[in-house]
Structure 1
Amino acid sequence: MKLRPLGIEGAWEITPQQHGDSRGLFLEWYRFDRLAEAVGRPLRLAQGNLSVSARHVVRGIHFADVPPGQAKYVTCVRGAVLDVVVDIRVGSPTFGQWESVRLDDVDRRAVYLEEGLGHGFCALTDDATLSYFCSTTYDPAIEHAINPLDEELGIEWPTSTPLLSGRDAVAPSLAQVRAAGLLPEHATCRRHAAGRDTEAPGGW
């Protein structure tokens, strides 16, 4: 398993080692100890989600208030997606920037993003299936969305016909969310991350 930090602080690409033969294959797609060693703290596992999307579906950009925020560990178990991480932390040196990683059922990479980062993806195939762990349970009272087609963000989605949910289609721009005071502060996110260094491995 190889862990590579992305250009946005708090976001990582994970590439597992696959062991295959004529019977099939085996891989470790998540290791709490390897992740904790790389990022400096364990991922607290509070909820597991499965998302199935048709080709051209774009979901995001979603984020939660910090604290508590919601860290995610995402992989694609069927088909392929372009997974996108957006730095929406006010005061971050990479504020407003985004990075993408192709997640698919061939290389079987994963993406980890810590609390305070925005997340979205575009399905590159039909029945694209994401499986992901979350550090907190879903709470609609602290969940927010930024329009994934926001021109200021300028995300290069690999589709000319993006299919959005009703919520995402009418979501405000990054500038509007910032003006409303809903974006997390970079300093707050860093303090929040540092405060979890003493949690038990795996978060159980």
Structure 2
Amino acid sequence: MIGNNFASMFYLLVASLLFVTVSSVATGATATKTEEDLVSVIIASLEGRSEVGIITEYLEMSRDALTKELPLENSGRKLSYTFFAPTDFSLFRRMVQDTVNPLTADGAFRNKILLRHFARQRVSSDDLSKLDKLIMADAKEATLSRIADTKINRINNEEILPGAIQLANNLGIVHVVDGVFMTHDEMSEAIYAYNAKNPNTGYGHLVGSASPPES
């Protein structure tokens, strides 16, 4: 009888330990899954804003690459960022019809262009009216300007729409901008490079818009 009770208690103890271990592993996995990153916070902040639906999709596609490039802290110091989110209309204006969209087809090209829309500092609406230049996350310089006699700010001659979006946990700010920091030549070269590497995709080389860069 004592032996049976001892065996029951032993099995009960083992089962309890297993439950605690499994629960701890599960909790750890959940914590890892829900760990915060800048891109996730930006996507959440733009939810429901139909004018920036396309750039939100691009951010999702480049989440892993951008998370590595844009950490939340450095040497124990918390970092903040500013993201200039192009409107859907501004992206449509840059698209070349009847050929591949390199922003969806070419991950490296998309990452490069997206990174150019981040500044590694918090830039408030008030700052926009005072600063003349910004160094973007890709080390390229952006020019800030104002339209005379108005409260309209511009970056690289593209209009910054009013109403800055504050990111959760003091991670920074999003400004919606009616423009995209990408030249026509960059888009054309990216299309040509993609078509050259993928000749059987059915996309043609468009004369004047997706032709090889001049030497």
TM-score using structure 2 length: 0.25
Higher strand share: 1
Q: Structure 1 length normalisation: TM-score?
A: 0.26
Between Structure 1 and Structure 2, whose CA radius of gyration is higher?
2
Q: RCO higher in 1 or 2 (8 Å CA, sep ≥ 6)?
A: 1
